[in-house]
Amino acid sequence: MENRQQFASRYGFIMAAVGSAVGLGNIWRFPAVAYENGGGAFLIPYLIALLTAGIPLLILEFTMGHKYRGSGPLSYFRMNKGAEWLGWWQVLVAFVISTYYAVIIAWALSYTVFSFDLKWGDKPDAFLVGEYLKVADPGVFGSLVPGVLIPLLIVWIVTIAVLFKGVAKGIEKLNKIFLPLLFIMFTLIVIRAITLDGAAEGLNAFFEPRWDLLTSGKVWVAAYGQIFFSLSIAFAIMITYSSYLPKKSDINNNAFITGFANSGFELLAGIGVFAALGFMAQQQGVPVDEVVKSGIGLAFMVFPSIINSFPGLNEVFGVLFFLSLVFAGMTSLISIVEVYVAALQDKFSISRSKAVLFGGLVSALFSLIYASNGGLNFLDIVDHFINTYGIVLSGLIEVILIGWVFKKLGELQNHANSLSDLRTGSWWVICLKFVTPVLLGYMLIQLVITEFKEPYGGYPVDALIKYGAVTSVTIILLGVLLSFLKWDKNKTAKEHKEA
């Protein structure tokens, strides 16, 4: 009999799931995606994506973890032997993401400290690239940058320490502290932002509905893409976390709560970010459109300069903003690392401590790549490929394998419905069997076409192939290889079926 760890409370599980979902993507990805894809009108495809793909997939992954009580690979294996490789694939994608996600948190940690004296000065762009990251030409590794290395070590030490403590005492506890704090800090920033001069113009720009865009396929792809990324779906994260649910746990309701909490935070971030952008546009006397950015540029270039021109308490809001990034990031990072910690533990029958130590050290070592002079460029390229092929392709294979090849949706639905207050009907099966695969398939085709039309980010093609394609191929091959290794006998026993 295995003695699987458990979350201590339903509230704790929800905090952990929402903590994983609410991440950098909510703060720096959603606002720009929504703005560029119809503004206020984007809320319609976004809501449809949430209800037809996001929440159905959350329910699916929660059910898998709860029913099969295993890490990604073990849960897929228990569903059907022929699905294990997908579990490994997702584990490896999670591994790759964790190696650079940790680095971004490290930057945010540095910037929290820089906030104390607004160290980035009046040229935040040059400061980030030149003084802080000391970026080299694309493809050049250079050497390790101490200013990044030190916060990166701190990020890994905290992550490893929390995971060492286990599910209830580590993961759950951290999320129960970090998530409410994040919410409070971020709300303070939003309140400040909407009371700045020019905020109204920013919000108008953000919410102004561009209905004409709703007929464009690109907008729907963006909506589904955002929902997937934002809910941490198709990385086995939610399977892993829900494998620690007590046997009597509501599934469907938890999925709805997680989905709506994440989207709520996203909307809050959209309001805060665009209010702040409106303020900046007014300061510079330019239209809002000209200051819109997302990702690293928004967080580490635009925001520092917005904070510079705050009418007071600049340092305080700097700390609040970057600490929000750290908190949002840490709760997500911990969930991704747990994916491979759990997989290692299951597959090689080793103790949790050994799995944490091994998994944590290997990923920390790999993350050094991004703490080099070439770091920013590597990160940008790997992130692009992971987001495209890692998420979209693995999500597509996931719904096809479960819905069509192994035909498990009915069984899984019964399992979830027997435990949940709120029962799903045939809409759930229809969404997963038809709507999601069609949309993901369409999305994938579009992404591949764009890929060939223009090399991503204007990088030299050979660099793209080297760092992007090689990573993707390695991941697939390794995943298949790992699934050829035999499981320990007690893992293949029938007893999990009673879960």
Minimum Å distance from CB 485 to ligand PHE?
25
CB of 336 or CB of 402, closer to ligand PHE: 336
Fill in the DSSP letter of residue 487.
P
Q: Is residue 25 at the binding interface for ligand PHE, with CB under 6 A as the rule?
A: yes
CA distance 276 to 296: 16
CB of 26 or CB of 159, closer to ligand PHE: 26
Closest by Cα among 130, 186, 194 to 376: 130
Torsion angles phi and psi, residue 454, rounded to 5: -145, 125
Q: Which stretch binds Na ion (CB under 5 A): 20-28, 211-219, 360-368, 398-406?
A: 20-28
The only residue of 13, 16, 20, 25 in contact with Na ion, by rule CB under 5 A: 25
Q: Which stretch binds ligand PHE (CB under 6 A): 21-29, 156-164, 301-309, 393-401?
A: 21-29
Q: Is 118 helix (H, G, I), strand (E, B) or coil?
A: coil
Instruction: Please report the sign of the dihedral spanned by the C-alpha atoms of residue 268, residue 115, residue 33, residue 199.
Output: positive
What is the Cα gyration radius of the chain? 22
Minimum Å distance from CB 403 to Na ion?
24
| The one-letter amino acid at 474 | T
Binders of Na ion in range 80-99 (CB under 5 A): none
Q: Is residue 373 at the binding interface for Na ion, with CB under 5 A as the rule?
A: no
Closest by Cα among 5, 163, 64, 91 to 485: 91
Write out the H or E segment, with its range, that includes residue 366: helix 352-367
Length of the chain: 499
Minimum Å distance from CB 155 to ligand PHE?
14
Binders of ligand PHE in range 401-430 (CB under 6 A): none
Write out the H or E segment, with its range, that includes residue 26: none
Q: Is residue 23 at the binding interface for ligand PHE, with CB under 6 A as the rule?
A: yes
Q: Is 88 helix (H, G, I), strand (E, B) or coil?
A: helix
Q: Is residue 363 at the binding interface for ligand PHE, with CB under 6 A as the rule?
A: no
Residue 97 contact among ligand PHE, Na ion, none, beta carbon within 5 to 8 Å by kind: ligand PHE
Binding mask 320-349 for ligand PHE (x = CB under 6 A): ------------x--xx-------------
Q: Is residue 26 at the binding interface for ligand PHE, with CB under 6 A as the rule?
A: yes
CA distance 90 to 395: 9
CB 313 within 8 A of CB 46: no
CA atoms within 13 A on the CB side of 231: 34
Label residue 457 left, alpha or beta by phi (over 0 means left) and psi (-120 to 50 means alpha): left
CB of 331 or CB of 373, closer to ligand PHE: 331
Q: Which stretch binds ligand PHE (CB under 6 A): 16-24, 143-151, 414-422, 447-455?
A: 16-24
Cβ count within 10 A of residue 354: 13
Q: From the centroid of its chain, how far is CA 4?
A: 25
Q: Is residue 186 at the binding interface for ligand PHE, with CB under 6 A as the rule?
A: no
Binding mask 66-105 for ligand PHE (x = CB under 6 A): -------------------------------x--------
Q: How far is CA 183 from CA 264, 322, 409, 496, in A?
A: 11, 13, 35, 37
Q: Is residue 115 at the binding interface for Na ion, with CB under 5 A as the rule?
A: no
Q: Is residue 24 at the binding interface for ligand PHE, with CB under 6 A as the rule?
A: yes
Q: Is residue 230 at the binding interface for ligand PHE, with CB under 6 A as the rule?
A: yes
Q: Is residue 21 at the binding interface for Na ion, with CB under 5 A as the rule?
A: yes
If binding means CB under 6 A, how many residues of this protein chain bind ligand PHE? 15
Q: Is residue 230 at the binding interface for Na ion, with CB under 5 A as the rule?
A: yes
Token pair, residue 463, equals 């660099």
Token pair, residue 434, equals 């038809």
Q: Is residue 390 at the binding interface for ligand PHE, with CB under 6 A as the rule?
A: no
Q: Is residue 270 at the binding interface for Na ion, with CB under 5 A as the rule?
A: no
Residue numbers at the binding site for ligand PHE (CB under 6 A): 20-21, 23-26, 97, 229-230, 232, 235, 237, 332, 335-336
Q: Which residues of the shown chain bind Na ion in the complex (CB under 5 A)?
A: 21, 25-26, 230, 262
